[in-house]
């Protein structure tokens, strides 16, 4: 089983030194959330993850969730861990105190999400979807519905799901077949089948609150006719108690490559009672509140899995001996493999990417809070634009790079990495879903280009690039060495943006084939921006903690020399166009 130590030093460094968003610091509701409080919470979070949840990863992989006599059973140890998890209030960390939550900002909860992703992604998914459903209801449900359902969800006694995918439609939700027939009492009868439903059924909670998109019988075809419905596993009585079983049943639990402890279900809705959320035919917009949150969290899943893969690769490289290096330190036998240049390069690849990602996530968490809570509408809108821009980047780049990192981790472990002994191959398998679910990474890239770039006429990306230039205009001569490199890649990104906009008028296949490259170019530049922010602090405070800050400076140098140049490669590949691709004969 892999070992894990929560990277508290790095997390607390970010919280102390890079909590620098002026608009975020104007949010009065978080005035009392200081470094001491963050430290106390994250230290306790580290304990429960390292001691209680980490062993669940292997337990869930060896004893997957299964359907027995109509009941979905979670792996051994899950029930006990879940009860402790909700007893200690972890599910309510970022929820509104009005409904029993602790009201912590995403600048803290995002770190906790990373820890959970590192220790046991399968276990995490049972509560993650609950928080997603909570957020959707919080923003779109009536006060009566919120008062009825949210307290139990925040407490963790009830869980939640997101039911979109059907056998006939995944990304193209306009094709969905699930129907909703309105009743005389204002409720709806929901009929249809949903597949690939994460945490769709299980034995951890008393009730499961399904958020289901369906088409009312009098609604138009396509996405314009989609509505959102709350469909509980058990009908909730007027007094809030759990009543009779609703018309929702589990057809099967998927047998998967990874995240085997998570129950991924086929759900059948047979005239199940459902309650309309918000306005009819506006369901897709409402569901996107949940989907966008989930997409950021999926990116954090990739970050968390990358972190534990790196930690175990580093430890293994320090104890495994193979071969001699050019500057061998061994007088008899082999050197530790960490002395080999190629191994060191792989480890620094991991480290420089992970630390840049964590910093970018922290920046995004501040922007998210501003977009939700700032009193100035103009400030909220700008932050919302940045969150919108970065959501597909974080979801896609972080999960793609996690595939690279977990693959490299297996390579460092050699034959042992390919076997189950070390648990490294499970990290690769568990992560493999992250580039797929919540909208595949290719869909994210298409969304970035078509919705965030072209439809906004480049406005969001233009503001983003200007913001980076302003914030990285350092007076420190040592930082300027790095900002000069960043500016080179900002120019590339700017040219790439213009190319996309121009090509969209001429050949949309060129744009489609370039979308993934554009996302990655934007992603690598964004990570470089995060590293500049880290460097500014590192050079300024160098004498206060030399070992920590020298490590940061050297890691940043590696990123700028070895990783950032990938951005130019993606640009050059993209502008070669799509002619060969589209004319190629596969017959």
Indicate whether 57 pLDDT > 80: yes
pLDDT of residue 455: 66
Pairing status of strand 207-216 against strand 158-163: parallel
Residue-wise pLDDT for 216-246, tens only, equals 999 999 888 999 999 999 999 999 999 999 9
d(CA 479, CA 353): 19
State residue 159 phi and psi, 5-degree precision: -115, 180
User: How far are the Cα atoms of 81, 82, 203, 231 from residue 87, in angstroms, in the given order?
Assistant: 10, 8, 17, 26
pLDDT in tens, 61-89: 999 999 999 999 999 999 999 999 999 99
Mean pLDDT of 503-521: 95
User: Would strands 207-216 and 242-245 be described as parallel, antiparallel, or unpaired?
Assistant: unpaired
Catalytic residue among 438, 471, 561, 568: 438
Better-predicted residue by pLDDT, 290 or 254: 254
> CB atoms < 10 A from the CB of 68, how many?
9
Q: Average model confidence (pLDDT) for the chain?
A: 95
Q: Residue 28 catalytic?
A: no
Angstrom distance (rounded) from CA 500 to CA 495: 9
Q: What is the pLDDT of residues 422-474, one digit of tens each?
A: 899 999 999 999 999 999 999 999 999 988 887 655 589 999 999 999 999 99
- CA count, 13 A, side-chain hemisphere, 116: 23
CA angle 225-438-500, nearest 5°? 85
Residue 328: the pLDDT is 74
Q: How far, in Å, CA of 196 to CA of 206, rounded?
A: 22
**Separation between Cα atoms, residue 90 and residue 103, nearest integer Å:** 11
3-state secondary structure at position 198: strand
Q: Say if residue 332's pLDDT is above 80.
A: no
- CA distances, 18 to each of 28, 317, 486 (Å): 18, 32, 19
Two tokens at 494? 């700017």
| Dihedrals phi, psi of 311, to nearest 5 degrees | -55, -45
Q: In this predicted structure, what is the pLDDT of residue 451? A: 86
First to last CA, the chain: 46
Is the pLDDT at 260 greater than 70, yes or no? yes
Q: Distance (Å, rounded) from C-alpha 233 to C-alpha 133?
A: 14
**What pLDDT is recorded for position 129?**
94
In this predicted structure, what is the pLDDT of residue 494? 96
Q: Which of 162, 160, 253 is CA-nearest to residue 207?
A: 160
Virtual CA dihedral for 426, 427, 431, 433, nearest 10 degrees? 10
Q: Helices marked H in 196-340 — which ranges?
A: 283-319
C-alpha 389/C-alpha 447 separation (Å) is 10
Element holding 107 (H helix, E strand): helix 106-119
Q: Which residues pair with 215 in a beta bridge?
A: 179, 226
Q: Within 13 Å of residue 37, how many CA atoms lie on the same side as its CB?
A: 13
For the stretch 194-222, pLDDT in tens is 999 999 999 999 999 999 999 999 999 98
- As a whole number of angstroms, the distance between CA 14 and CA 542 comes to 15
| Least confident among 163-167, 291-295, 544-548 | 291-295
The average pLDDT across 236-263 equals 96
- The pLDDT tens digits for 128-150 are 999 999 999 999 999 999 999 99
Predicted pLDDT of residue 456: 58
Band (pLDDT 50/70/90 cuts) for residue 287 is: confident
Tokens representing 546? 């030399």
Q: Give DSSP secondary structure letters for 506-567.
A: T-HHHHHHHHHHHHHHHHHHHHHHHHHHHHHHHHHTGGGSHHHHHHHHHHHHHIIIIITTHH
- Strand, helix or coil for residue 211: strand
Residue 175: its pLDDT value, please?
A: 80
8 Å CB contact between 304 and 405: no
Q: pLDDT-based confidence at 159, cuts 50/70/90?
A: very high
Give residue 284's pLDDT band: very low, low, confident or very high (50, 70, 90).
confident
Rounded Cα gap, residues 124 and 262, in angstroms: 9
From residue 362, give the alpha-carbon distance in Å to each of 66, 94, 175, 401, 419.
Answer: 37, 15, 37, 18, 35
Dump strand ranges (E) for 199-232. 207-216, 226-232
Contact 496, 439 (CB under 8 A): no
Q: What is the mean pLDDT of residues 5-29?
A: 97
């Amino acid at each position: 089983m892999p070992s894990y130590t929560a990277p508290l030093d790095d997390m607390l460094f970010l919280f102390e030194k890079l909590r620098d968003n002026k608009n975020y610091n104007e949010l009065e509701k978080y005035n009392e959330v200081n470094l001491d409080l963050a430290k106390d919470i994250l230290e306790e979070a580290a304990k429960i993850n390292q001691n209680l949840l980490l062993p669940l990863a292997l337990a869930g992989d060896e004893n997957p969730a299964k359907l027995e006599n109509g009941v979905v059973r979670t792996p051994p140890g899950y029930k006990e861990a879940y009860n402790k998890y909700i007893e200690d209030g972890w599910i309510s960390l970022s929820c509104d105190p009005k409904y029993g939550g602790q009201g912590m900002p995403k600048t803290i909860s995002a770190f906790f999400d990373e820890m959970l992703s590192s220790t046991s992604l399968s276990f995490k998914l049972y509560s993650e979807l609950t928080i997603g459903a909570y957020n959707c209801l919080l923003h779109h449900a009536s006060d009566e519905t919120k008062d009825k359902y949210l307290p139990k969800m925040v407490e963790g006694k009830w869980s939640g799901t997101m039911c979109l995918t059907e056998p006939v439609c995944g990304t193209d939700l306009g094709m969905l077949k699930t129907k909703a027939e309105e009743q005389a009492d204002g409720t709806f009868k929901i009929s249809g089948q949903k597949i690939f439903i994460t945490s769709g059924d299980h034995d951890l909670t008393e009730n499961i609150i399904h958020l289901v998109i369906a088409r009312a019988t009098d609604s138009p075809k396509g996405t314009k006719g989609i509505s959102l419905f709350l469909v509980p596993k058990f009908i909730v009585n007027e007094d809030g108690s759990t009543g009779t079983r609703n018309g929702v049943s589990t057809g099967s639990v998927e047998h998967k490559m990874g995240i085997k402890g998570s129950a991924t279900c086929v759900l059948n809705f047979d005239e199940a009672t459902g309650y309309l959320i918000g306005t009819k035919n506006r369901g897709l917009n409402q569901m996107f509140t949940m989907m966008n949150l989930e997409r950021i969290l999926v990116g954090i899943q990739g970050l968390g899995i990358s972190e534990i893969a790196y930690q175990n690769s580093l430890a293994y490289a320090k104890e495994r001996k193979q071969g001699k290096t050019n500057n061998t330190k061994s007088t008899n036998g082999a050197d530790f493999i960490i002395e080999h240049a190629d191994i060191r390069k792989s480890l620094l690849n991991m480290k420089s990417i992970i630390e840049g990602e964590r910093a970018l996530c922290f920046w995004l968490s501040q922007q998210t809070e501003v977009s939700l809570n700032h009193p100035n509408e103009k400030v909220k809108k700008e932050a919302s634009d940045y969150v919108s821009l970065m959501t597909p980047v974080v979801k896609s780049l972080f999960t793609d790079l996690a595939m690279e990192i977990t693959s490299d981790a297996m390579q460092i472990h050699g034959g042992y990495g390919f076997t189950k002994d070390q648990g490294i191959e499970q990290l690769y398998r568990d992560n493999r879903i992250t580039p797929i679910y919540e909208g595949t990474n290719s869909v994210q890239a298409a969304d970035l280009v078509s919705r965030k770039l072209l439809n906004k006429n480049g406005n969001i990306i233009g503001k983003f690039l200007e913001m980076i230039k302003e914030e990285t205009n350092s007076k420190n001569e040592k930082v300027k060495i790095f900002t000069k490199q960043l500016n080179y890649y900002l120019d590339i990104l700017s040219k790439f943006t213009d190319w996309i906009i121009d090509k969209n008028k001429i050949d949309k296949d060129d744009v489609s084939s370039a979308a993934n490259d554009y996302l990655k170019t934007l992603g690598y530049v964004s990570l470089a921006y995060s590293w500049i922010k880290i460097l500014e602090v590192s050079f300024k405070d160098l004498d206060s903690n030399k070992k920590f800050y020298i490590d940061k400076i050297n890691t940043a140098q590696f990123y700028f020399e070895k990783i950032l140049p990938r951005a130019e490669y993606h640009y050059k590949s993209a502008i070669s166009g799509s002619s060969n691709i589209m004319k190629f004969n596969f017959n």
